[in-house]
Amino acid sequence: MKINLKQLAVQTLDQTGNLLLSPPYGGFGYYRNHGPRATRQVALTFDDGPSKPCTEELLNMLDDLEVNATFFWVGANVMSHPDLVVRADAAHHIIANHSMEHSRKSGLILQDDGHFTDAEEVVYKVLGKRTRLYRPPWGWLPPWEGHRLNRIGYTVIGWDVYTLDWQLPEPDGRWMAEDAAERTQPGSIFCFHDGRAHAPVWNKKQTIRAIQHLVPLLRAKGYTFVTVPQLLNVPGYA
């Protein structure tokens, strides 16, 4: 059997990077991956948006469920849909920073913070608020990136319940909800996705189906849904 050395090298790099840099074990201590384990509060988070129509449909559904969430949005997508940023903020969701271009490489550069300060500036121009929650693209956080984020007042947010809703084709929403519910603990932070970086138009039906099923499932077990700042008692904005 012929071995593709380039593909093997990429897979090895990805596996090593995920282990050392990503939640729940990586990140060199800079991540906040969950809230207090003594209280049955949990937080929904969504990455990579905003995109249409999926973010619009998700916001409609969260309104119906009376749930507030935290959105880690990409600056390039924010520029495409400032109306969704305003709408989410008006509904008391939290807008958080997921970098300007969703480049894993940018966070690995020793002396470069433009990828998150540029995204912060884009949100500020729309809302007049400066983000103070950050989640790195792909979850990769080297120690120098964590240090510079902490130095200017950011809290780096990970997760302890990671879903596969980013995959194509989308996994079944009911299965994702039941799988997530089995792994839920008091203080859990869920990582879902409401779009795709650099895709202003994106359709995600199964993520919405998963949330529709997950919220009542966990409420029946006594859980309440809060934003990340409420869960961790940290500021969402400067």
How far apart are alpha carbons 49 and 40 in whole angstroms?
A: 28
Residue 100 φ then ψ, to 5°: -80, -45
How far apart are alpha carbons 35 and 28 in whole angstroms?
A: 18
Taking residue 233's Cβ as centre, other Cβ atoms within 10 Å add up to: 8
Taking residue 65's Cβ as centre, other Cβ atoms within 10 Å add up to: 17
* Radius of gyration, alpha carbons of the chain: 17
Q: Please tell me which residue in 47, 48, 165, 194 is annotated as part of the active site.
A: 47
Q: Please tell me which residue in 34, 81, 193, 213 is annotated as part of the active site.
A: 193
Q: Cα dihedral sign for 137, 139, 142, 144? A: positive
Alpha helix stretches (DSSP H) within 81-163 = 82-90, 104-108, 114-127, 143-151
How far apart are alpha carbons 105 and 177 in whole angstroms?
A: 32
How far apart are alpha carbons 151 and 173 in whole angstroms?
A: 39
Would residue 47 show up in a list of annotated catalytic residues for this protein? yes
Q: Identify the CA nearest to 17 among candidates 107, 101, 98.
A: 107
SS3 190: strand
Would residue 34 show up in a list of annotated catalytic residues for this protein? no
SS3 46: strand
Active site residues: 47, 193
